[in-house]
């Protein structure tokens, strides 16, 4: 069979990542000879790492996580329209040029991951929505909410003056959005149908305490917390205790990983899963993550 083509997930910290289990399950099911590992890479190291990928010539793709999503934008050879609009890359597809060189294309599958995770949880179209945080994942959350035809979006950030680009993106996406100080979030969260926290692990813990102290009910509302380790997060526990539904970030990881795997298989010259195969891939990925099958 020969040596496998290489792929992996890049970020810092990365030891907690479940992406290797997720992707290995998919490629094993499909009989694709791919390796997939985790690589601890910080922003100053990213350019050199991608240069080595180009030089090696035996890679098919990379998943990109924090804090590299914005930095990757300037280091790949081309961008999909979605990645360019969002200014964030979570997927690098590696292909060969006609002259034998290596081409790196940046894409963003986080949007599909968020939309599908919320849909699986029963979130309705046209929600009143809030986003916690203004980083690389927040822009994907805005695009997902635009796809869900959100009626309005409030983005809670610690420094609104530094988030003008986030507001400009929302306008580009056709979203009625406004920036709000992070300190107002705890008292406001009960007013939304969908809340997406894009904060890092434990980043919302103080907010969770303030939210609980307020005592407001959130029955019928959905919280997607993209941080999945540890799980449940303090915010998820608080949200559920007030009657809301919670969606772990691992659900987003699952659905964005399905899209990545399809791109990566094609990049290496394999057929992407179709029809019932897609459901089979989702189910083995669920098994790898300890999630219930779909």
Residues tagged active-site: 69
Residue 239 CA, chain-centre distance (Å), reads: 21
Is the preceding peptide bond at 232 cis, omega within 30 degrees of 0?
A: yes
Helix ranges, the chain (H): 19-30, 43-56, 81-86, 110-120, 136-147, 164-172, 185-188, 205-214, 234-241, 249-267, 276-289
The length of the chain is 294
Token readout for 66 is: 């924090």
Q: Which helix (H) or strand (E) holds 194?
A: strand 194-197
User: Residue 236's closest CA among 221, 251, 246?
Assistant: 246
User: Residue 69's closest CA among 119, 132, 160, 138?
Assistant: 138
DSSP structure class, residue 272: P
The CA-CA-CA angle for residues 85, 204, 109, to 5°, reads 30
Contact predicate 34/7, CB 8 Å: yes
Contact predicate 112/190, CB 8 Å: no
Give the separation between CA 114 and CA 198, rounded to whole angstroms. 11
> Which residue matches tokens 């507001």?
167
Using DSSP, state whether 34 is helix, strand or coil. Answer: strand
Q: How many CA atoms lie within 13 Å of 189's alpha carbon, on the beta-carbon side?
A: 36
């Amino acid at each position: 069979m020969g040596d496998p083509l290489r792929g992996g997930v890049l970020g810092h910290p990365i030891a907690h990542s479940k992406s290797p289990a997720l992707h290995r399950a998919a490629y094993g099911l499909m009989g694709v000879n791919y390796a997939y590992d985790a690589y601890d890479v910080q922003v100053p190291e990213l350019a050199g790492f991608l240069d080595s990928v180009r030089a090696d010539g035996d890679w098919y793709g990379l998943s990109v996580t924090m804090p590299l999503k914005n930095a990757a934008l300037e280091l790949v050879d081309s961008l999909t329209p979605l990645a360019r609009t969002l200014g964030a890359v979570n997927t690098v597809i590696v292909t060969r040029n006609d002259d034998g060189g290596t081409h790196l294309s940046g894409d963003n599958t986080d949007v599909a991951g968020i939309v599908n995770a919320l849909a699986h949880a029963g979130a309705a179209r046209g929600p009143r929505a809030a986003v916690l945080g203004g980083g690389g994942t927040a822009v994907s959350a805005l695009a997902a909410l635009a796809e869900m035809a959100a009626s309005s979006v409030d983005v809670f950030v610690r420094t609104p003056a530094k988030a003008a680009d986030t507001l400009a993106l929302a306008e580009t996406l056709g979203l009625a959005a406004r920036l709000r100080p992070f300190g107002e979030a705890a008292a406001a969260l009960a007013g939304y149908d969908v809340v997406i926290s894009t904060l890092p692990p434990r980043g919302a813990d103080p907010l969770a305490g303030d939210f609980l102290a307020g005592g407001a009910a959130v029955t019928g509302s959905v919280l997607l917390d993209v941080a999945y380790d540890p799980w449940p997060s303090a915010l998820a526990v608080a949200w559920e205790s007030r009657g809301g539904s919670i969606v772990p970030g691992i659900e987003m990881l699952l659905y964005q990983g399905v899209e990545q795997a399809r791109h990566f298989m094609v990049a290496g010259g394999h057929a992407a899963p179709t029809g019932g195969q897609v459901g089979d891939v989702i189910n083995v990925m669920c098994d790898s993550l300890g999630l219930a099958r779909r």
